[in-house]
Amino acid sequence: MNRIRRINFLKLRDVLKNKLRRGEESFSMNKVIFLDRDGTINEDVGDFCSLDKLKFIPKSLEALKILQDLGFLLIIVTNQTGINKKIFTEEEFLKFNKEYLKILSDNNVEIKKVFYCPHLKEENCICRKPKTYFIEIAKQKYNIDIENSYTIGDHPHDIEMGFESKAKTIYLLSGHGKKHIKELTVKPNYIAENLYDAALWIKKTSNL
Ligand SMILES: [Mg+2]
Ligand SMILES: [Zn+2]
């Protein structure tokens, strides 16, 4: 390699390294875990928006760490009807969301993005699960390898959203999972006891 070419090569390598470090771009596509929140990461105690009602499902934070360490981006997609039911305001939700993410971050888990639908079912919005709207937005933003990504949740609508998006799907028996299992309209790739079980299954079965 002559000198000029070598310098250009080194420059290019540094630029790319920095970009990768900043997480802005990557040549390989991102594999994502689209996570439901209530009943999946934390106990589903109905519409809530305060730390005193927040209870993490056993080992769910460890599960998130496993998935993160496998190289997945973690994105939460949650229906937060409590906002438009006026149980809490959007500002209160966002404040709580910040506190929630701080707890995860203190446990070395970084959530890339939280998508939330504030609408009531009757509003027939474009974003409420099982609609795939948020996944479509994420795809535009994060260069996602959707076929090697997963949606995980304790409600049939989490599975329907994933199936429609061509992601793999894992249905959880935690949260409301047991109650709603008969309402599944599509067969998930796996049915797990909880998020930790799901993470172990992904670790075992995905080609990483
Ligand atoms: Mg749920
Ligand atoms: Zn919505």
pLDDT in tens, 67-84: 999 999 999 999 999 999
Mention every residue, 6+ apart, whose C-beta is less than 8 A from residue 188. 159, 169, 170, 171
Residue with tokens 């939330």: 116
Q: Can you give the residue ranges of every domain in the chain? A: 25-205
Cα-to-centroid distance, 22 and ligand 1 (Å): 32
CA 32 to ligand 1 centroid distance, Å: 18
Q: Separation of 13 CA from ligand 1 center, angstroms?
A: 43
**Tokens at residue 64, please?**
């998130």
Asked whether 136 and 161 are in contact (CB, 8 A), the reply is no
Structure tokens at 173: 């028996």
pLDDT of residue 206: 84
CA distance to 10, 102, 148, per residue, from 132 (Å): 42, 27, 17
Strand residues in 93-138 grouped as ranges (E)? 113-117
Query: 34-54, pLDDT tens digit by residue?
Result: 999 999 999 999 999 999 999
Beta strand 73-79 with 168-172: parallel, antiparallel or unpaired?
unpaired
- The alpha carbon of 38 and the centre of ligand 1 are apart by a number of angstroms equal to 4
Give the pLDDT of residue 162.
98
Q: What is the number of the ligand closest to the CA of 78? A: 1
Q: Which ligand is nearest to the CA of 118?
A: 2
- pLDDT tens across the length of the chain (208 residues): 555 555 565 565 555 555 555 555 456 899 999 999 999 999 999 999 999 999 999 999 999 999 999 999 999 999 999 999 999 999 999 999 999 999 999 999 999 999 999 999 999 999 999 999 999 999 999 999 999 999 999 999 999 999 999 999 999 999 999 999 999 999 999 999 999 999 999 999 986 6
If you measure from the C-alpha of residue 74 to the centroid of ligand 2, how many angstroms do you get, rounded to a whole number?
20
φ, ψ for residue 153, nearest 5 deg: -170, 170
Ligand nearest to the CA of 126: 2
Name the residues annotated as catalytic.
36, 38
Q: Do 153 and 159 touch, CB atoms closer than 8 A?
A: yes
Cα–Cα distance for residue pair 45/138, rounded to 1 Å:
28
Write the single-letter amino acid at 146: I
pLDDT score recorded for residue 28: 86
Contact indicator for 107, 65 with CB cutoff of 8 Å:
yes
Task: Using DSSP, state whether 76 is helix, strand or coil.
Answer: strand
- 25-205 has which fold? Rossmann fold (3.40.50)
